[in-house]
């Protein structure tokens, strides 16, 4: 049995030590998204090429998340943390100094290797260090580091790129990494009675890397090449499916797997993972779509679009303070259900978006979203690993976070695909209104032609009026597509409400 001996140090110091690198690893995930147009312009790359900056990080991140428990047992907790914080710091330095896009992608890959284990190891350390009656406090601190810093990412990234250079998104990680290594050396204790790993699960590791690499390429390039109409996309999708199947079978049968998939038999772990993955789908899809909507349709700058998302961070922080006493008083399952209801309501408010939507209106659903995130995230984080033995905490945390990361990647790709496809569908239906038999269209065309005729010839004015109306049609089609996707995300939030009551708490066991 693995035992955690960390009582010699104050709990707050242990929490600060482990959450500092975890929070900046989460910040690195979302802050880069806002800076992609600036990075692609700096390197003279297309948007599709620059997207590899995100893809490379997510591939490395997901691979290392699943291997966290196995690597921690192999290396020891203290050495493990020092090594991977150092890798994350070196990756950040390479990104900041990258002379071209290829080196930038390499830096992000290295950064993802270092940042991947930070979230599951933080959850594992906190649950092992804090006594059972204080686990809600531990998960509140975990929520600040993981969820709030991830939400802060677009605001932070937007502020940096509008007021400095995008390189500072990565420079800031260097002093944080140095301080974190020093704090780990001083405050984190080694696991006693650690069973050394005698066999390295090379087949499992190779299958994991192939699955994640091929899956991410398919998700990243699928829309660009029209998904399964492209032969090589079909080939990669088949390889990904075969690799995943082999990985599952191998990990269930191998004596020393990199991850123990049998913990999915624990119902709290299974349901909690589904609920957490659903929160990630809702939150990170909105983080991807809202800045696109605000910058492409309304015309906001990166900083202003980031500021529009800031209220969810403020309300999340307030709820982190309030959620701990609420968890002591109320049934945690009811809090989770209410949280999903608020998530559904907040996303449903985006269905009323228009090109005249004010900055103030955008803040209201963001406040509700921040409240809902914490009401779901903290109770689920406390319950999902609560029924696992301590020896499986690292393994469970890594598998739990891998599922959330994979769902996040899939949902972001699907959300962008749905926006593109629904935009085309709405164009097909709206273009029927651009007919000479439509009196409203005729009136609008006449008004525009008369307006433009004051500064140009009548024939030129007619061409410009047609172009203006067609551009308006494209904008309206994309707006309606965003509304469709937000409606789907709201539906996911409402569907998850009854699943909350399948979790077991201390009172129900």
**pLDDT single digits (tens) 360-397:** 888 888 888 888 888 888 888 778 777 777 667 767 77
pLDDT of residue 193: 59
Measured distance CA(160)–CA(306) in Å, rounded: 11
pLDDT of residue 1: 37
Alpha helical stretches, state H, 257-392: 267-293, 302-329, 332-348, 359-384
Measured distance CA(404)–CA(220) in Å, rounded: 18
DSSP per position, 293-304: HIIIII---HHH
The closest of 203, 188, 173, 2 to 80, measured between CA atoms, is: 188
Q: List beta partners, residue 192.
A: 3
**pLDDT single digits (tens) 119-168:** 778 877 777 777 776 766 777 777 777 767 777 777 777 778 777 788 88
Low-confidence ranges of the chain (pLDDT < 70): 1-9, 46-49, 51, 133, 135-136, 147, 190-200, 302, 390-391, 394, 435, 506-509
Per-residue CA distances from 261 to 248, 276, 483, 490 (Å)? 8, 18, 38, 31
Instruction: Quote the crossing angle between the two packed helices 458-495 and 267-293, to the nearest 10°.
Output: 160
Q: List beta partners, residue 3.
A: 192
**pLDDT single digits (tens) 10-55:** 777 787 888 888 888 877 777 777 777 778 788 877 666 676 777 7
* Helix, strand, coil percentages in the chain from 3-state DSSP, rounded to 5: 80, 0, 15
pLDDT of residue 40: 78
Measured distance CA(397)–CA(384) in Å, rounded: 9
- The CA-based angle 132-137-142, given to 5 degrees, is 110
The closest of 407, 396, 282, 269 to 339, measured between CA atoms, is: 282
DSSP-assigned letter for residue 260:
-
Measured distance CA(415)–CA(6) in Å, rounded: 43
């Amino acid at each position: 049995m693995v035992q955690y001996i960390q009582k010699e140090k104050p709990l707050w110091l242990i929490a600060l030590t482990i959450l500092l690198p975890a929070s900046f690893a989460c910040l690195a995930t979302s802050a880069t998204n806002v800076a992609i147009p600036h990075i692609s312009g700096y390197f003279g790359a297309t948007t599709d090429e620059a997207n590899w900056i995100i893809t490379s990080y997510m591939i490395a991140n997901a691979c290392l998340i699943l291997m966290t428990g196995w690597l921690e047992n192999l290396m020891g907790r203290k050495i493990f943390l020092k090594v991977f914080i150092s890798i994350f710091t070196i990756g950040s330095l390479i990104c900041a100094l990258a002379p071209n896009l290829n080196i930038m992608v390499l830096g992000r890959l290295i950064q993802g290797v270092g940042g991947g284990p930070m979230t599951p190891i933080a959850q594992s350390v906190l649950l092992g260090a804090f006594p059972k009656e204080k686990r809600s406090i531990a998960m509140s601190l975990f929520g600040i580091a993981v969820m709030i810093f991830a939400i802060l990412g677009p605001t932070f990234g937007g502020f940096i790129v509008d007021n400095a250079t995008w390189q500072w998104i990565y420079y800031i990680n260097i002093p944080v990494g140095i301080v974190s290594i020093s704090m780990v050396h001083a405050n984190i204790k080694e696991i006693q009675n650690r069973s050394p790993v005698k066999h390295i699960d090379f087949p499992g590791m190779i299958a994991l890397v192939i699955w994640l690499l091929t899956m991410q390429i398919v998700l990243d390039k699928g829309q660009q090449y029209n998904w399964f109409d492209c032969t090589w996309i079909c080939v990669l999708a088949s390889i990904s499916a075969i690799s995943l199947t082999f990985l599952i079978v191998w990990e269930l049968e191998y004596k020393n797997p990199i991850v123990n998939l049998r913990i999915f038999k624990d119902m709290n772990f299974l349901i909690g993972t589904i609920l957490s993955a659903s929160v990630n789908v809702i939150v990170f899809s909105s983080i991807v779509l809202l800045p696109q909507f605000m910058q492409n349709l309304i015309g906001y700058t990166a900083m202003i679009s980031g500021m529009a998302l800031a209220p969810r961070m403020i309300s999340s922080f307030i709820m982190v303070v309030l959620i701990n006493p609420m968890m002591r008083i109320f049934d945690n399952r009811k809090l989770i259900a209410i949280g999903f209801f608020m998530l559904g309501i907040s996303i449903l408010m985006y269905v009323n978006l228009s090109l005249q939507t004010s900055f103030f209106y955008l803040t209201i659903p963001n406040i509700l979203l921040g409240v809902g995130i914490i009401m779901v995230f903290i109770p689920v984080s406390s319950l999902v690993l609560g029924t696992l033995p301590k020896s499986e905490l690292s393994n469970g945390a890594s598998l739990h976070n891998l599922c959330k990361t994979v769902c996040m990647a899939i949902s972001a790709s699907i959300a962008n695909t749905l926006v593109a496809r629904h935009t085309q569908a709405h164009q097909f239906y709206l273009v029927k209104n651009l007919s000479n038999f439509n009196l409203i269209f005729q009136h609008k065309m006449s008004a525009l032609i008369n307006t433009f005729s004051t500064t140009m010839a009548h024939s030129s004015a007619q061409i410009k009026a047609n172009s203006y109306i067609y551009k308006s049609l494209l904008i309206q089609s994309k707006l309606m597509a965003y509304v469709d996707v937000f409606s789907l995300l709201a539906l996911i939030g409402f569907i998850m409400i009854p699943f909350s009551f399948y979790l077991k708490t201390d009172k129900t066991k």
